[in-house]
Amino acid sequence: MTSRRDFIRISVMGAGALALTRGTFGTAKLLSSPDEVKKLKVDLKRTPTYCEVCFWKCAGWVYKTSEGKIWKIIGNDEDQHCNGRFCPRGTGGVGMYYDEDRLKTPLIRVQERGKQVFREASWDEALDHIAAKMKDISSKYGPESMALFTHGSGSAYFTNLLKAYGSSNIAEPSYAQCRGPRDEAFLATFGEEVYSPEVTDIRDTKCLVLIGAHIGENMHNGQIQEMSDAIDKGVTIITVDPRFSTAAGKSKYWLPIKPSTDIALLLSWIHEIIYNDYYDKNYVEKYCSGFDKLKEHVKDFTPEWAYGITTIKPDLIRKTAKEMANATPAVLIHPGRHVTWYGDDTQRVRAIAILNALLGSWGRRGGFYRPAKYDVPSAKIPKYPESKKSWTDAFPGKYPIASSPVSNALIEASIQDNKPGFLIKGWIVNATNLVSSIPGQANTLKAIQNLDLLVSVDTMPMEITGWADVVLPECTYLERYDMLRISPHRKPALALRMPAAEPMNNTRSGYNIARGLALKLGLESYFPFEKQEELLDWQLKQVGSSLEEMQRIGVKTKARDADDLYYAENENVAFPTDSGKIELYSKAFEDAGFDPLPKYVAHEEPPEGFYRLIYGRAPMHTFGRTSNNPNLTDLMHENSVWINPKVSKEWGLMNGQYIWLKNQDGIISDFPIKVRVTERIRWDSVYMVHGFGHKQKQMKRCFGKGASDTQLITKVLVDPLMGGTGMRSNFVTFVTEKSEKEVAS
Amino acid sequence: MRYAMAVDTKKCVGCSDCVVACQTENNVPHGFCREWVVETMNGTYPQLEIEIRSERCNHCINAPCVRCCPTGASHFAEGGIVLVEHSKCIGCGACMASCPYDARYPHPDGYVDKCTFCIHRIKIGLAPACAAVCPTKCIYFGDLDDANSDVSVVLKKRKSKTLIPEAGTKPQLYFLI
């Protein structure tokens, strides 16, 4: 295969492809006679799973009809992630299984009559092809020249495979495109990250502060449930958002902040809390270091100073600071999750961490609880070969505090022109649609042109599959075992995923794909269990359970070893930071050449006639990966662009009208997007939900529906500390005539 | 016995989980729904308020759909639940025209379909699918004749409203405000 590759639509899949037509799934009818009710109780079978539609991984039950067809998915009452209640995406997870557009068989890129096309292949053939290429790359460039981009449950297997092969260049876009700055900021402050699910004690908080976190539109199930419980108990919610979010609608205070000025607001809150003696003195004295330097640093950051920057009235800043103080320590300034906004994100989240520390909320009821988890042994495998070059050698000195590989740095290292310390020549891309999940699409495509091998593992024909040399179709989570879910929570818990149905078509589980490839590469010893269920049973028996038990109960929860959900009064705590204290002032940042205390730096403003592009989530979709799900498209099949009425009037735009968006670099959205005229957005910004505007025709329901924010994010502000890609740095204007669009493109 | 439902607009986030849970539970064909979510907004930036409501059949005491059904397919079942007997329904659409809440849809199989309060679940002691799934627990269901039922308790404690009360249908779907 030559290195230049064309985008191929996965067209060979059309032949007899419709696995199931719409609307025929399940056969359970409305049951109302007592006889039928009895049948319902007796005949339905259920198998345990945990959800893979998002990263929250709620545990539930897959119910089947008496004919054995997957019918519905219901939360497991014992599960702390969901408390028996799935979110719309989890409930609609059945649609992932029944989606007729799924990938069905392995595909290999070939040259036919001068044109690149895919041909269907057997698994053996596809894996042989990949193994040969990987061996080739290893001998030519070294094994480090293979990289893995991965998301979700399959990460464990492909990570194991790549490490066994000799490369540690394994990146999850969930780090540098999402939560990375938050993790680094909390690590730098408390020596610990906030984990997933976050250890936020929303259930018992008296004051919940959301700054760019939109619980209710992001559907982080446990947090939404706890916010709702907290509302019942009379919580005060303070929401900072340029948009009147759903959470803002539930809040006592909404601070309609000017975008990109959050650090100024945070600094003035810190100022208020310190200079009014609102902070928890015992806590700060006992646990924190650097208080005096912080106090000096924020001396001039008064609410009046912040007003000029944020447009938030000083009185409102004072009042909300006092509300936080009144609730201490049961106050929670939420750390957020998708925090890659302006390139100074680690510093912004540091300010959030500092604020929490001053109010004494870390380790306290209503603030952040202490997580606990099961200790489950892994399979015994040989030592991994030493990886001679890691991603940090590609660009020495860059992103010094990054504790995980940076996906965008690996992409940069795949481009010869960037003169990386070593060149990446092969990618395995597992369950992440890189074209859509990484900003700067042109760069990603340029990197792809340089590769000797691109393997895409997915359940759906996402855009990335069109660029692959080999496409490997994974079965959905409803058709496979996966690793045990061992995430930390209030109580240690395990959850099992097992297949509710056989893999559809010629698809395989991630475990079987990775193991199959390991066998071809002579790395069998790293996958000692032929069947994943054997591994699971072995693991479960080490912790006093068994596969048989877990198949019956789905979730196993045990009591904590000690009564340590929160710190005890005056407990001596050794924080896992360099100083053993909560570091208000970061020596580590200072040593690395960065601000030891967060500073506000003004960001670029939209040029005249342009509006800041803000993107976010809808509760019924996860990124772009659910856009074709038949159940979820029923709820939302396209995104819209929110425009303030003042702006729409100026432009003559009508509610419901379709327009194109054009960004500051002249990029026009491929597809038109519906206008939503609403007071819920500021006049200097527009808002859209991420994950629409798919270009892959094989995803018939979502093709061409709505616009892609990623396409319009061409200017990226990279966080110099850890490589996060700030994406709120783009400005768009409106294109109303299709001809104008055609001329431009 | 008088079944009723109350939806807490202060907690509902409009995620539409109720809609999809109803769809899977009751095999509602794609493109149709028995329930839906409505959002209303008042004010100008930044003085705004929104109300979010999960809506469905109001199971009215004085149900126009039952009155105008020519075949008796639309009827009251136990606890006042308004049901459609599919085998008797000729799909004429009179009930759809008479419903002030637009709660019914024509099922592709030729009958008119709507929310049943998941009567098949109630009979075995389960809450309706929408109430059972709601992550915010904003949907309360139960028997108004039982003073201790969830719905009775919450309606006593909180201020509530019904939709289009002027239609005189005596709806049994309440909204906590």
Domains of chain A, residue spans: 177-368+572-591, 611-744
Least confidently predicted of A34-38, A351-355, A494-498: A34-38
CA distance A432 to A155: 10
Q: For the stretch A348-367, what's the b/e string if a residue is b when 16 or more beta carbons lie within 10 angstroms of its beta carbon?
A: bbbbbbbbbbbbbbbbbbbb
Query: Measured between alpha carbons, how far is A258 from B102 in angstroms, rounded to an integer?
Result: 41
Domains of chain B listed by start with CATH number: 3-176 (3.30.70.20)
pLDDT of residue A507: 98
H or E, element range at A650 = helix A645-651
Confidence of residue A9 (pLDDT cuts 50, 70, 90): low
pLDDT range class, residue A605, cuts 50, 70, 90: very high
Q: What kind of fold does domain A611-744 have according to CATH?
A: Barwin-like endoglucanases (2.40.40)
- A148-161 pLDDT, tens digit per residue, is 999 999 999 999 99
pLDDT at residue number A509: 98
Contact A409, A130 (CB under 8 A): no
Between residues A739 and A2, which one has the greater pLDDT?
A739
Cβ contact A25–B123 (<8 Å): no
What residue type is B129 in one-letter code? A
Q: In the predicted model, is pLDDT for residue A83 greater than 80? A: yes
Q: Give the per-residue pLDDT at A45.
A: 84
Mean pLDDT of chain A: 93
CA distance A727 to A118: 34
pLDDT score, position A262:
98
A85: chain B residues, CB-CB within 8 Å: 17, 132-135, 137
User: Is A456 within 8 Å of A429 (Cβ atoms)?
Assistant: yes
- For residues A653-674, average pLDDT: 96
Q: What is the pLDDT of residues A110-136, one digit of tens each?
A: 988 788 899 999 999 999 999 999 999
Burial bucket for residue A305 (CB in 10 Å: 0-12, 13-18, 19+): middle
Q: What does each C-alpha distance from A316 to A215, A255, A301, A343, B37 come to in angstroms?
A: 22, 8, 15, 27, 33
Q: If you average pLDDT over residues B36-45, what whole number do you get? A: 94
Average confidence (pLDDT) over A716-726: 97
For residue A400, the surrounding DSSP H or E stretch is none
Q: What local confidence, expressed as pLDDT, does residue A115 receive?
A: 86
- pLDDT tens for A282-300 read 999 999 999 999 999 999 9
Place of tokens 């030519």: A140
For residue A314, whether the previous peptide bond is cis, meaning omega lies within 30 degrees of 0, is no
SS3 assignment, position A213 = coil
Are B20 and A91 inside 8 Å of each other by CB?
yes
Q: A733 pLDDT exceeds 60? A: yes
Residue B23: its chain A contacts at CB < 8 A? 631, 634
**Position A28 pLDDT exceeds 90:** no
Q: Determine which of A634, A636, A643, A689 to mutate to test the interface with B (most B C-beta atoms within 10 Å).
A: A634
Can you give the pLDDT at residue A739? 67
In tens, the pLDDT along A428-484 reads 999 999 998 999 999 999 999 999 999 999 999 999 999 999 999 999 999 999 999
pTM for this entry: 0.94
Q: CB-hemisphere CA count at 13 Å for A680? A: 21
**Partner-chain contact A32 B46, CB within 8 Å:** no
The percentage of residues in chain A with a pLDDT greater than 90, rounded to a whole number, is 90
Q: What is the pLDDT of residue A111?
A: 85
Q: Are A714 and A439 in contact (CB under 8 A)?
A: yes
C-alpha A565/C-alpha A491 separation (Å) is 9
Nearest neighbour of A630 by CB, restricted to B30, B83, B119: B30
Average pLDDT over residues A10-36: 33
Q: Do B86 and A85 touch (CB under 8 A)?
A: no
Answer yes or no: do A680 and B48 touch at CB < 8 A. yes
Kindly indicate the confidence band of residue A30, based on its pLDDT and cuts at 50, 70 and 90.
very low
Q: Is A464 exposed, middle or buried (0-12, 13-18, 19+ CB in 10 A)?
A: buried
**Mean pLDDT for the stretch of residues B68-91:** 96
Q: Which residue has the tokens 């929160």?
A: A566
Min Cα–Cα distance to chain B from A142, Å:
49
Q: How many CB pairs under 8 A join A and B?
A: 154
For A221, nearest residue in chain B (alpha carbons): B135
For residue A7, the model assigns a pLDDT of 65
Contact at CB, B52 and A249, closer than 8 angstroms: yes
> How far apart, in Å, are the Cα atoms of A8 and each of A5, A101, A578?
9, 16, 51
Nearest to B71 by CA among B43, B101, B103, B112: B112
What pairs with residue B75 in β-bridges? B83
CATH superfamily for domain A177-368+572-591: Dimethylsulfoxide Reductase, domain 2 (3.40.228.10)
CB burial of residue A400 (10 Å; 0-12, 13-18, 19+): middle
Identify the burial level of B148 via C-beta atoms within 10 angstroms of its C-beta, where 0-12 means exposed, 13-18 middle and 19 or more buried.
Answer: exposed
3-state secondary structure of A676: strand
Across A257-266, average pLDDT: 98
A87 touches chain B (CB under 8 A): yes
Q: How far is CA B43 from CA A635, A645, A678, A680, in A?
A: 26, 12, 10, 9
Specify whether the CB–CB gap between A78 and A58 falls below 8 A. Answer: no
Please tell me the predicted confidence (pLDDT) of residue A114.
Answer: 81
Read off the tokens for A617.
Answer: 């989530």
In the numeric block, the tokens 């009144």 are attached to: A326
pLDDT at A6 (0 to 100): 72
pLDDT of residue A8: 64
Residue showing tokens 């003004």: A602
The whole-number average pLDDT for the span A650-675 is 97
**Closest-CA residue of chain B to A74:** B133
Nearest-Cα distance to chain A for B45, in Å, is 5
Query: Fold match between A177-368+572-591 and A611-744?
Result: no
Residue in B8, B10, B11, B17 to test binding to A, most A beta-carbons within 10 Å = B17
Q: How confident is the model at residue A329 (pLDDT cuts 50, 70, 90)?
A: very high
Q: For residue A745, is pLDDT > 80?
A: no
Distance CA B13, CA A219 (A): 10
Q: Is A631 an interface residue toward B (CB < 8 Å)?
A: yes
Determine contact, residues A266/A238, Cβ cutoff 8 Å: no
CA geometry: angle at A624 spanning A623 and A625, to 5°?
95
CA distances from A245 to A254, A255, A335, A619, A687 (A): 9, 11, 17, 12, 11
pLDDT (0 to 100) of residue A66? 87
State whether B10 and A88 contact (CB < 8 Å).
no
Please check the confidence at residue B80 and state whether its pLDDT lies above 50: yes
State residue A112's pLDDT score. Answer: 80
Tell me the pLDDT tens digit for each residue of A606-638. Answer: 999 999 999 999 999 999 999 999 999 999 999
CA A184/CA A399 separation, integer angstroms: 11
Q: CA–CA separation, B176 vs B7, rounded Å?
A: 6
Q: For residue B177, how many other CB atoms are within 10 A of its CB?
A: 12
